[in-house]
Amino acid sequence: MKLFFNLFGMALAGALGYLMEPNLRFQLTGQQPSAVERAEHGRVILKTDDDAPQIDVAALSASQLPSSVQVKSAVKVANAASGNTMTVDSGNRVNLVRIDYANAVISPAEGFEGRIPITETDLLDQLAANPPAQTASAVEPPAVVEPPPVMTPPEPVTPPVVENPTPTSAPEIAPDPAPEPTPPATPAPAPTAGGGDPVAVMQASIKAGQIKEFTFDQVQEWKAGEDETVDGESFQTGLASYKAGTIFGVKTIQAKALIKDGKVQRWSWPKSGMEIK
């Protein structure tokens, strides 16, 4: 029994030491805990307006988070396999691996990972600009099967009685005229993106399933935009405003299309410029 209490006391002391280590370190050595250490057991709660519910960023699923973030301060990352380290300077965009309490786990290259407080990235700005959509699996209602119609048998017909019929020659029956040949149907022209019309090009892109973020039926407004130059290339632009359910309720969200040669080259969010898949 004494051995059990000794082991329990050692485990409790170790747990308390792990949780209180940053504060004890400052009291014993005068060294302040790092921002990453202070965020290891914290929570980041996002609330965009008074009517919107609070968002616990650590509770969001991978599908509700952006694929990358921009760091606002330098962060050191390491390769666990090789032991090599590298520093990512402020302003660089890196892959977002996951959220760990109030820290973001990032990766600038394959095999390298590091941690940085969420508040030192643009993650909260991206979530505020494009609130994460609610995830709900759509359940199709069962098909309604109509019962077969009840067939009523026809009443029997009694043939008329003819007294003393006189044989006559059978009447001549003229053959039916041959039916006139029906001209082949002209196939309807296939829908095109429209000769340079941004609205028609956007509608064709959504109908073709170029992206999965929203459907044609969700769009409330199609609008042609001004021409833009991106990376030295000139594009037509268009905006599609659609309704979507988010954790803040049903919101109207805009998506921008970059159009060239009669096709949508890329869909993106107008504010952040991030590509829509």
3-class DSSP string for 169-235: CCCCCCCCCCCCCCCCCCCCCCCCCCCCCHHHHHHHHHHCCCCCCCCHHHEEEEEECCCEEECCEEE
pLDDT in tens, 137-161: 333 444 444 555 555 555 665 665 5
Cβ neighbors of 28 (< 8 A, separation 6 or more) are none
- Confidence (pLDDT) at 151: 58
**pLDDT range class, residue 226, cuts 50, 70, 90:** very high
**pLDDT range class, residue 163, cuts 50, 70, 90:** low
- Confidence (pLDDT) at 66: 93
Q: Which of 46-50, 105-109, 188-192, 250-254 has the lowest mean pLDDT?
A: 188-192
**pLDDT range class, residue 189, cuts 50, 70, 90:** very low
CB 252 within 8 Å of CB 241: yes
CB 53 within 8 Å of CB 247: yes
pLDDT in tens, 17-70: 555 555 555 555 666 788 889 988 888 998 777 777 888 999 999 999 999 999
Q: Write the burial class of residue 276 (CB in 10 Å: 0-12 exposed, 13-18 middle, 19+ buried).
A: middle
Q: What pTM does this model have? A: 0.43
Integer angstrom CA distances of residue 146 from 113, 139, 149: 60, 21, 9
Cβ neighbors of 230 (< 8 A, separation 6 or more) are 258
How far is 73 from 7, CA to CA, in rounded Å? 43
How far is 250 from 240, CA to CA, in rounded Å? 16
- What does residue 21 show for φ and ψ, rounded to 5 degrees? -55, -45
Looking at per-residue pLDDT, the higher value among 18 and 176 belongs to 176
- Confidence (pLDDT) at 159: 60
Degrees to nearest 5, angle at CA 121 with 118 and 124: 70
CA dihedral 78, 81, 82, 84 (to 10 degrees): 0
Q: How many CA atoms lie within 13 A of 149 on its CB side?
A: 3
- Confidence (pLDDT) at 141: 45
Q: Write the burial class of residue 184 (CB in 10 Å: 0-12 exposed, 13-18 middle, 19+ buried).
A: exposed
